[in-house]
Amino acid sequence: MMVAASLGVVEKQTQPQPRQEEASAGEGGNWSRSGWTDSIAFEPVLTCYVCASTRRTPAFDLSFFDHSFKWVRCSDCGLVFQSPRLTKSSLDLIYNSELYWRGRSEVANPPAHSTEEIRLGYNNYERGHPYRLAQARQRVLALSNHLPSGSRVLEVGCAAGFFLSALKQAGYHATGIELSAAMAEYGRSRLDVDIQVGDFDQLEIPSGSYDGIAAWGCDSNFHDVRKTYSHMVEALHPGGILAFNYFDFDHPARVFLGSFKRVYNALYYFNRRNVASLLSSLDLEIVSHSTEFQYTCLEEIASMTGRRGVQTLARTFGVERSMLRLPILGSYLLLARKLPNPSQRP
Ligand SMILES: [Zn+2]
């Protein structure tokens, strides 16, 4: 469920816009504009996910799909989080929509919208196949420094399962859980990987079932990040490894990254300090914390950052889909070990 940039963003626009003419239900696969506008809902977030503080200050507002989204900053730990936040049922609708995974230009009869282009997630997730597989192999390599081949690994929010495929090739026992039935089917049929469709938060997993749990590209997307991380820690065997990536929202590089990560479904933004605090409170010890290199292409970079000029230039020279491996400043790959005994907390 990797987050992607959204187009048509208007900062500091706090009043909802007049509703435009709606498309008929059923357009855009299982997605419809009327479905979205009728179903979108928000709920208050009473306390900070990391430190439980109730003190906060306004951070920024953005407008998406004719709705105003607001983020606040915790006055105690600095976590920036959406409040009020999208309800879980609103998010489930998005992640199961064809439009999220394939983009407007790829969906037959996309829903009408007031803006020129609506972007929920990916331009076309499937087209990123070679990049995602290369990225997955790099992540398996990082994990293999702390978790031997043959270990049981669960990936939460595995999408089509590229990481599972790379794990399998490296000799791990890999299982994934994914909200999107379409993505799970893609992974099973194209990558021959084991994916269960469902909501990880709702799964009953016996304590200590896995030696490793990974969550890639979900760093801002869990509905209640403390609840989900607690659930992952419970499912980990003592001494097991939790692996994930995240973007440090307070990294100086953010000013160069345009609208990167400024997306409607970013429910919270970590920084280095509060992510460490969250992990420590869950009896996890950080064993590796490094800048993540991203396999990508100029077309994707232009889309993620909202820098249209990059795409135009790349298309001029015919290199918009050429594979690149770049360090993403402020983006970290983090591995943490579940302490065998909570008293060993550093
Ligand atoms: Zn806090």
- pLDDT tens digits, residue range 176-208? 999 888 889 989 999 999 999 999 999 999 999
Max mean pLDDT range (62-66, 94-98, 184-188, 254-258): 184-188
How many Å lie between the centroid of ligand 1 and the Cα of residue 73? Answer: 8
Predicted local distance difference test score (pLDDT) of residue 213: 98
Q: Which helix (H) or strand (E) holds 152?
A: strand 152-156
Cβ atoms of residues 154 and 235 within 8 Å: yes
Q: Where are the alpha helices (DSSP H) in 145-176?
A: 162-169
C-alpha 248 to ligand 1 mean position (Å):
15
Residue 262 Cα to ligand 1 middle (Å)? 20
Ligand 1 centroid to residue 271 C-alpha, Å: 11
Q: Model confidence over 137-173: pLDDT tens digits?
A: 999 999 999 999 999 999 999 999 999 999 999 999 9
C-alpha of residue 48 to centroid of ligand 1, in Å: 5
Q: What mean pLDDT is reported for the chain?
A: 80
Ligand 1: distance of its center to the CA of 278 in Å? 10
Give the distance (Å) from ligand 1 centre to CA of residue 69: 20
**Rounded distance from Cα 81 to ligand 1 centre (Å):** 9
Question: Cα dist. 96→54, 73, 100, 308 in Å?
Answer: 33, 30, 8, 28
Separation between Cα atoms, residue 100 and residue 247, nearest integer Å? 21
Centroid of ligand 1 to alpha carbon of 225 (angstroms) = 12
Q: What is the DSSP pairing of strand 85-86 with strand 42-43? A: antiparallel
CA of 173 to the centre of ligand 1 (A): 36
Q: What is the pLDDT of residue 13?
A: 29
pLDDT beyond 80 at 340? yes
Mean pLDDT of 20-40: 42
Q: What's this model's pTM, rounded to 2 decimal places?
A: 0.79
How many Å lie between the centroid of ligand 1 and the Cα of residue 47? 8
Fold of 3-344: Rossmann fold (3.40.50)
Distance 103 CA to ligand 1 centre (A): 35
* Ligand 1 mean position, distance from CA 65 (Å): 29
> Distance, CA 330 to ligand 1 centroid (Å)?
20
**Residues 6+ away with beta carbon under 8 Å from 318:** none
Distance 115 CA to ligand 1 centre (A): 35
Question: DSSP label at 112?
Answer: P
Sheet arrangement for strand 210-215: 195-197, 173-178, 152-156, 210-215, 236-247, 324-338, 284-296
Rg (CA), the chain: 20
Range with lowest mean pLDDT among 44-48, 126-130, 249-253: 126-130
| pLDDT tens digits along 5-16 | 322 223 332 332
pLDDT in tens, 73-84: 999 999 999 999
Segments making up each domain of the chain, as ranges = 3-344
Single-letter amino acid code for the residue at 202: Q
Q: Is beta strand 324-338 parallel, antiparallel or unpaired with respect to 236-247?
A: antiparallel
The alpha carbon of 53 and the centre of ligand 1 are apart by a number of angstroms equal to 5
Using the mean position of ligand 1's atoms as its centre, give its distance from the Cα of residue 274 in Å.
8
